[in-house]
Amino acid sequence: MSENHNSNVEFTSNKDQHLKRSLKARHMNMIALGGAIGTGLFVAGGEVVSTAGPGGALVA
């Protein structure tokens, strides 16, 4: 029993469609800022757990 499950799939081969890949300066700044904030939260959370223990981390 072999059935073709892809019979409803349509393929288009239009050569005029291109993906534009570009990052502006503000995009890179936001990525860097998000990385810095995320790292700070991760490190601060580790400090809370090491100082107060897991129960203190839940309260804080």
> pTM for the whole thing?
0.50
- Which of 31, 53, 52, 33 lies closest to 41, judged by CA? 33
Residues in the chain: 60
pLDDT at 43 over 80: yes
- pLDDT mean across residues, the chain: 80
Distance of CA 12 to the CA centre of its chain: 30
3-class SS letters over the chain: CCCCCCCCCCCCCCCCCCCCCCCCHHHHHHHHHHHHHHHHHHHHHHHHHHHHHHHHHHHC
Tell me what pLDDT residue 39 has. 92
pLDDT at 8 over 90: no
